[in-house]
Structure 1
Amino acid sequence: MFTEELASEADSRASLSSDFIGYHHNYPGNVVVRVCQRFYGFLQGPKVPIAPGNRPYFAEAQKGLANLLAHRSGTFRRLFWVGFYALWSITLLSLIYRSSFAATSLRPAGEDKDARPPQFLRCTTTLWARKNGCGLDGTDCEPFSDTSFEFRCPAGCNGEFLLNPYTIGNKQVVGKPLVIGGPVVNLPPTSATGVVLDEHIYRADSMICASALHAGIISNTLGGCGTLVTLGTQGSFTNSTQNGIVSEPFDSSFPKSFAFAKQEGAGATRAGCVDLRWIITTIHIFFTVVFTLFQESAAVFYWVLFVAAFWQVALVSSPPPLASYDLLSQGAGAFLPALFVAYATWRSAARHTLAAPTWPFDRLCWLGGLWIGILMDYITANVPVSRLIASDIRRDGGLFWVLGIASGILVIVLCQMYKLRRLKLLPFYLACYLTTGLVFGLLAALPHLTFRLHHYIFAMLFLPGTCMQTRWDMLYQGILLGLFCDGIGRWGFDAIIETSEHLRSDAVLQSLIPTFLNNSTTHDVLAETTRGVSAGVLRWKADAPANYGYSLLINDVERFRGTATQFSLQALNMTDSAPYYARLAYAYGSAALDYTKAAVMFANGTFTRPDPGRT
């Protein structure tokens, strides 16, 4: 009986203990713990890692291709690769030297004098500076006429466009090459210097290479050389669409313009004027495909193609806008740090992705992705977003492209997370990326600085997540490594945080702007009044900050800089029909702040006030 009582008491205690444990088990804090444990267990994946499958396509053909060299003697293989590397290097270096470093010369037809070396221009080079950069009356950009020089332009200048709005009279253009002008009917056949002129005239602030492309002087694919002749003041500039370039009109005068010497056909000697980047790129792709199909070593495959990709960008496909030998200097400066990043990528991802057994056709996925990344500037040339900043995203179609690209990246990231989970690697990678995200958040919170996720940083960030041996990982890894080479080879290691002044470039400062006092009433040009443009007087409010004056642009040329609050228009010799465009800004010395939008004036005294906003 005593035993039964003990058993009954034990049962009673067990029941109470079970109730307590059940209550404790359902305590809200423990529910959260259990949910977190289950979520972490889910992230850990299956008990046994499941490697992704990668069944080869055309296995017999790939085996036969791989055995072409594998069954040869070691001496034969070494001789084959020495000869292949020598042919590869000599071919590319000779073409690069001819395209970018050989002495270029230009001798117009019918001239016996020595050939002249042209000036190497950027796609964005102009003869006239923005806003008041040419000084009062444009004197810093003289001479205005009767000069000429030979120039050489690179290929692809139709893809170099304005990143920020540019003001022409009373309108603004952005997102296109800056070309103002076009065909002229009554252009004199020769200039004052005796040069036979092409039938196009352009305003001096037009991009020279884009204008030459518009006029048909050079090729967008091969670049080219030409002779530029300055012509002085023109009363107006027409527009047209030619050779893929849409030019802008300007219906008033400008003190400096230019035209090109007419091409004289076979009589003109233009040695070394062709940009061979696409010929070099095509030959380079051929060599890399042959190398990919026959190279067995993953390490040799990776390092040779990385070095080839870096110098392809730095010297051929997307070189920075520098003089020839400066390209080598800047490339060498970025190459050693890039090798460190390449080694980190090899240790964290590429050695796993390219580890044996990999098939020749599978490695072509890696190579194809690499070339996509290298040529990303050309592939995305028509995408309106070149920088992840508000002004680019607001541009026509910009938001659509950003959302589309972001959605694609999100799908790829989720697929990679699924494969990492099956390999029991997801918790480690999530911890690394969350830590990186925290660091980025702290950098973005720094005052007076802006966080910039350059595409070389984007590539470095996601390359470790492509560590699996699948065709998709090979493709992603190649694209990201190509993006890294594209960013570093062209721009170098730009800072991840930058000042707003550096990012602004030539955009508006969002500064205060002055106010015109003239109203919108038509006045007699000879009448004396304090409010109109009559008697040729332009007036504005005297509210400049201390130590500041005013800068006045008329037809995009600075005509006044000082502390006075009016300007006489009589010196402009205004014609009856042509409009004149006035913009006003506060200025500290020669440095002008933001200008107003353009007021429109006519010689009869008509004055239209500017729209709200800054330029």
Structure 2
Amino acid sequence: MVPKSDDIEMRLISDIADKGKSDVSSSGSSGTSLSERSYSFESSKVNRPKSVFRKLLDAILSVYKGSEKPSDSPPSFGNNIFRALEEFPRKLSFLLPNKLKILIIVCFSLAWVLTLRSILFPYLSAPPFYKDSESGQSEKIITLSCGHESLFWRGENDACGLNAKKCGSRDTGPLSKSPIAIRCPAFCDYSSRTFASLPVGNQTVKYRSYYIGGGKVEKDPHYLTLPYRADSFPCAAAIHAGLISPEMGGCAFLEFTGPQYYFNSTSGRNTMPESIGFDSFFPESFRFVKHPGTCIRCKDPRILAESINIVFGFLAIYSLDGLTGFWMVCISHFWTVLLSFDPPLLVDPARLDSIPELLSLGFRRFLPLCFMLFAVWKGACNITLTEPTSQVCKAFIWYPLFCVGMLNNVTFDRLPLDRLTPSDIREMPGSMTVCIILLVITITCVIIQAFQLWKAGRIGGCICGYALLIIIISYLSRIPGLEFRLHHYVIGLILIPGTRTKGITAFIFQGLLLGLAVNGVTRWGFSSIEETNLSLLRGDSAGRMAPPSFLGYTASNSSITWYSPLTEENQLYEKTGNGKSAKPRGEDDWFSLLVNDIEVYHGPDLSVNLENLSDTNKQFGELLNASLSETRGSDQDINLYLRVARISAGSHKRSSYTRSALLIYPGGEFHHESKGST
């Protein structure tokens, strides 16, 4: 008979009970109970020491997973005033119907746009002019940028041609009038700095405003300043003389005053540094003059426009929901900065295509910017700015720091820091110190925000994302012939995803980074993160061939001699017995000789006699003799600064110029140029 299932179960239970009794009796005979043995086994299992690898793995996993009890709440305020400010927008939004809220937002936006238009449109579209108090006629004013102006001086080295005939005062055109009225924009105290190396005699000027000589003159019936060398930046010179406000811009009158035989360094006004000194002659100069005219539309309204923009933006970010306020302040600041506060192009109302060209550039950057803002909103800003959030932190922390980043040309750009490339950091004084300070601050902020992400339970995704990003950047930075560039918008896009929390640190870091990102796109566009070494060059980058070298000066025949060595790019050169040659097969290369930064000789010779050159080049001879007459009364020689470049016979491309050699003339003392080129 087959046993029933109930009988089988009863037998199994009985067997287990009998076995338990036998185990208990055996354990009792040994003096240790079953429970004690079980406890001893578990204790030995718990107290077993973990390996270092296991401890490290557990620590990494605990960091990756985040806090066991994730929390991410916006800041709360116990003060009654802050609590009332916090609740006011919510209460107002609850009381108003949706249709009325939409109507209010539309009217608010129209008032915002029309107010800015009424301020900016007259300055941007209507040409400035002045009324002559004597004749009563209206004359045009030339609108200039802060930096180099080719209308006044085409450029350095040989850009102005032999004896600078292509530069300075003209027989025809706007420079033929005297005086010449100019209008300068705001912030030229900083924007007039040169970031390319400009030679001035034996000096190399870089990272400073470019004006030579000049200075204010008191109690003169006609002139307001001493002469400035003609290649000086006019707006920078006007601010240096105290004639134009660095914050508001303005108008001034200048006239060309011909050759000068020295330019002393003079102290500046409006916190401008001393001017650059030059102790030899130059064929052209200009001075600022008095003029009994009334200037119209000279003051730059960008500070007023941006101030009004900030006020409207504050009301938007405080009163509206996070999404609406985010888009309104980003779009408004983009167009305000592009049109007035830091425009990428000079707006000259006298040119009919000036404003359309700037607007076209703005729309070219605006649509990609909107896609970037959409990604930033979805990736980080929606967590910080949407409910539950803090209206007080949005308005008083996030938004002010957004404006600080957005107005980069008057905030971070004023730091002694140019581009984040090794060569620029080495060359700019104070740049290394600023880089170290910013790096320490950035690392500190990253650690603080990483802790907030850990508390919110969101650090795992950030760790994976940034690890992958580091690998990608490491690869990109090793591509031959290219240099990885951290532009403003790149820095913002990299760091903003790490602000995906609701704490007060997210409001601080996110606002600043977003402002920098939008400003970078507004001012410079979506520049490539990988740029060629050639594209990073500034100023005169013509020198792709090796320049000649001076051999010296022969006092007996007043001759300056140089030689041009064989170089890899010109294999037509024939070698002599000692391995050197100055003559190619076929055509000769030509040479360009500069004296005091002006081209005075252009030809095939490897030697120039200064006395013969003075006879053949009449203008140079007159300048040289007049300069000697100015100083011979005190039995002093004059300094001549010499630089030479080679011009390829086949391609007509020229090399860089040598650095300046110094000839003390007519004494004959010669000092060779230092290594390098300009």
Is the TM-score greater than 0.5? yes
SS in 2 for 1:200: coil
- 1:301-352 per-position Cα deviation (integer Å, ceiling 9, x unaligned): 1111111121122112211133341221111110000000000011111111
Q: 1:274 aligns with which of 282, 285, 299?
A: 299
Q: Does 1:331 align with 2:394?
A: no
Whole-angstrom CA distance in 2 between matches of 1:327 and 1:348 = 31
> Counterpart in 1 of 2:60?
39
> Counterpart in 2 of 1:147?
176
SS in 1 for 2:642: strand
Whole-angstrom CA distance in 2 between matches of 1:174 and 1:439 = 34
Whole-angstrom CA distance in 2 between matches of 1:428 and 1:511 = 51
Displacement of 1:144: 6.0
User: CA, structure 1 residues 280+49, in 2 after alignment: closer, same or farther (shift >3 Å)?
Assistant: same
Q: Does 1:581 align with 2:641?
A: yes
**1:553-564 alignment, distance < 5 Å:** 553-564=594-605
SS in 2 for 1:592: coil
Q: Does 1:290 align with 2:315?
A: yes
Displacement of 1:567: 1.1
Displacement of 1:447: 1.3
Q: Does 1:219 align with 2:245?
A: yes
> Counterpart in 1 of 2:526?
493
The 10-residue stretch of structure 1 (229-238 or 270-279) with the greater mean CA deviation from structure 2: 229-238
- 1:349-404 per-position Cα deviation (integer Å, ceiling 9, x unaligned): 11111111223211111111110111122113442112112343233221111000
Whole-angstrom CA distance in 1 between matches of 2:218 and 2:285 = 15
Taking structure 2 as the reference length, the TM-score comes to: 0.78
- 1:158-202 per-position Cα deviation (integer Å, ceiling 9, x unaligned): 10212233221112222211001214879996xxxxxx5433321
Displacement of 1:291: 2.1
Which blocks of at least 5 consecutive residues in structure 2 are unaligned? 1-21, 27-40, 348-353, 571-583, 615-619
- 1:67-112 per-position Cα deviation (integer Å, ceiling 9, x unaligned): 3454245555444333322221110111111232233223333233
User: CA, structure 1 residues 465+478, in 2 after alignment: closer, same or farther (shift >3 Å)?
Assistant: same
Whole-angstrom CA distance in 1 between matches of 2:439 and 2:217 = 50
> Counterpart in 2 of 1:417?
450
Taking structure 1 as the reference length, the TM-score comes to: 0.86
> Counterpart in 1 of 2:371?
340
User: CA, structure 1 residues 359+276, in 2 after alignment: closer, same or farther (shift >3 Å)?
Assistant: same
Q: 1:247 aligns with which of 275, 280, 303?
A: 275
Contact 2:595–2:640 (Cα < 8 Å) also in 1: yes
Q: Does 1:595 align with 2:662?
A: no
Contact 1:587–1:593 (Cα < 8 Å) also in 2: no
User: CA, structure 1 residues 300+64, in 2 after alignment: closer, same or farther (shift >3 Å)?
Assistant: closer
> Counterpart in 1 of 2:108?
84
> Counterpart in 2 of 1:522?
none
**1:465-614 alignment, distance < 5 Å:** 465-506=498-539, 512-518=546-552, 532-543=554-565, 545=567, 546=570, 548-570=589-611, 571=614, 572-573=620-621, 574=624, 575=628, 576=632, 577-588=637-648, 589=652, 591-614=654-677
Contact 2:130–2:294 (Cα < 8 Å) also in 1: yes
Displacement of 1:279: 0.9
Whole-angstrom CA distance in 2 between matches of 1:63 and 1:186 = 61
User: CA, structure 1 residues 86+43, in 2 after alignment: closer, same or farther (shift >3 Å)?
Assistant: same
Q: 1:163 aligns with which of 167, 188, 195?
A: 195
The 10-residue stretch of structure 1 (404-413 or 150-159) with the greater mean CA deviation from structure 2: 150-159
**Amino acid paired to 1:582:** L
> Counterpart in 2 of 1:203?
229
SS in 2 for 1:106: strand
User: CA, structure 1 residues 418+566, in 2 after alignment: closer, same or farther (shift >3 Å)?
Assistant: same
> Counterpart in 2 of 1:123?
147
Displacement of 1:65: 5.5
Contact 2:489–2:520 (Cα < 8 Å) also in 1: yes
Instruction: Give RMSD over aligned pairs.
Output: 3.1
Q: Does 1:231 align with 2:272?
A: no
Whole-angstrom CA distance in 1 between matches of 2:129 and 2:286 = 22
- 1:252-289 per-position Cα deviation (integer Å, ceiling 9, x unaligned): 1111222234243xxx2322211100111111111122
- 1:12-55 per-position Cα deviation (integer Å, ceiling 9, x unaligned): xxxxxx9xxx9xx999xx96477335423332223332325522
SS in 1 for 2:295: coil
Whole-angstrom CA distance in 1 between matches of 2:654 and 2:122 = 43
**1:94-109 alignment, distance < 5 Å:** 94-109=118-133
Displacement of 1:117: 4.6
- 1:390-449 per-position Cα deviation (integer Å, ceiling 9, x unaligned): 343233221111000011001111111112122222221111112122222222111111
**1:298-309 alignment, distance < 5 Å:** 298-309=322-333
User: CA, structure 1 residues 400+511, in 2 after alignment: closer, same or farther (shift >3 Å)?
Assistant: farther
Whole-angstrom CA distance in 2 between matches of 1:607 and 1:31 = 71
Whole-angstrom CA distance in 2 between matches of 1:533 and 1:425 = 78
Displacement of 1:534: 3.9
Q: 2:84 aligns with which of 60, 65, 90?
A: 60
Q: 2:207 aligns with which of 156, 170, 175?
A: 175
SS in 2 for 1:141: coil
The 10-residue stretch of structure 1 (172-181 or 341-350) with the greater mean CA deviation from structure 2: 172-181
Q: Does 1:371 align with 2:403?
A: yes
Q: 1:311 aligns with which of 316, 335, 347?
A: 335
Contact 2:550–2:563 (Cα < 8 Å) also in 1: yes
SS in 1 for 2:259: coil
SS in 1 for 2:389: coil
Whole-angstrom CA distance in 1 between matches of 2:523 and 2:135 = 39
Whole-angstrom CA distance in 2 between matches of 1:551 and 1:372 = 48
Contact 1:540–1:565 (Cα < 8 Å) also in 2: yes
SS in 2 for 1:480: helix
- 1:450-469 per-position Cα deviation (integer Å, ceiling 9, x unaligned): 11110111111111111111
Contact 1:100–1:275 (Cα < 8 Å) also in 2: no
Whole-angstrom CA distance in 1 between matches of 2:69 and 2:365 = 43
**Amino acid paired to 1:47:** E
User: CA, structure 1 residues 139+33, in 2 after alignment: closer, same or farther (shift >3 Å)?
Assistant: farther
Contact 1:513–1:596 (Cα < 8 Å) also in 2: no
Percent of paired sites with the same residue: 27
- 1:106-159 per-position Cα deviation (integer Å, ceiling 9, x unaligned): 333323333325234343325331222222322332546872443321100010
SS in 2 for 1:601: strand
The 10-residue stretch of structure 1 (278-287 or 70-79) with the greater mean CA deviation from structure 2: 70-79
Contact 1:598–1:610 (Cα < 8 Å) also in 2: yes
Contact 1:544–1:550 (Cα < 8 Å) also in 2: no
Whole-angstrom CA distance in 2 between matches of 1:157 and 1:533 = 46
User: CA, structure 1 residues 26+136, in 2 after alignment: closer, same or farther (shift >3 Å)?
Assistant: farther
